[in-house]
Chain A
Amino acid sequence: GAGVSQSPSNKVTEKGKDVELRCDPISGHTALYWYRQSLGQGLEFLIYFQGNSAPDKSGLPSDRFSAERTGGSVSTLTIQRTQQEDSAVYLCASSGADRAFSGNTIYFGEGSWLTVV
């Protein structure tokens, strides 16, 4: 597609339920990022995928969070046993190449707004 697509755009879930958030990056982009943004806060890095390399999961806040990227394209972020503090906007971003000093722009999706009640 023309841009990074995320779904669902809004999700309200009960505490303890599992949720899956989907990201379709820009076609051909090899790098994919997940970020979390709590209300009024900056972006918090969660996980990074680059091609077929092992992902950098260092930003995932707990083992309830996991993500995968199938076929080097679509990515799914899964949150198990959701807690109220998981309520945030989950932003996906992609970029075309990942070389130091490349200056490639990161393109963000519109985000998935998660509310845990």
Chain B
Amino acid sequence: KNQVEQSPQSLIILEGKNCTLQCNYTVSPFSNLRWYKQDTGRGPVSLTIMTFSENTKSNGRYTATLDADTKQSSLHITASQLSDSASYICVCHSGTYKYIFGTGTRLKVLA
């Protein structure tokens, strides 16, 4: 069964600190993995897309990694800001038009 699991479910950190969010997937066939940021009350916004041949991709303070062998991805946020408070959703594209969504990690950054 195609599944995307994210951890932790929620996370609270102090402003300026780093954090890492995890995504484990069992999706076959696997095409690519995306990380989305969803602010409260808003639609998800794409942060990064990674194909199975990519190991690391950065977008500003966000760095995503992908290990296609262990089927794990992480999203590392550096020097967190209050505006990083949001849900971060891991999404796998299975090579068809179906996207399998994780339930997200809710991040809260405190001043």
Contacts and interface: CB of A to CB of B under 8 A. Distances in A.
A, B assembled together = yes
Interface residues of A, number: 25
A31 B99 CA distance: 13
Interface stretch (B12-20, B59-67, B70-78, B100-108): B100-108
Contact of A91 (B34, B43, B93): B43
Interface in B6-41: 31-32, 34, 36, 41
A31 B97 contact: yes
Contacts, number: 53
Nearest to A59: B98
B104 A42 contact: yes
A116 interface: no
A4 B95 contact: no
A41 B97 CA distance: 21
Interface of B: 31-32, 34, 36, 41-46, 49, 51, 89, 93, 95-99, 101-104
22 contacts: A4-B43, A31-B97, A33-B99, A35-B101, A41-B103, A42-B104, A43-B44, A43-B89, A48-B98, A56-B97, A100-B96, A101-B31, A101-B51, A101-B95, A103-B49, A105-B34, A106-B46, A108-B45, A109-B43, A110-B42, A110-B43, A113-B41
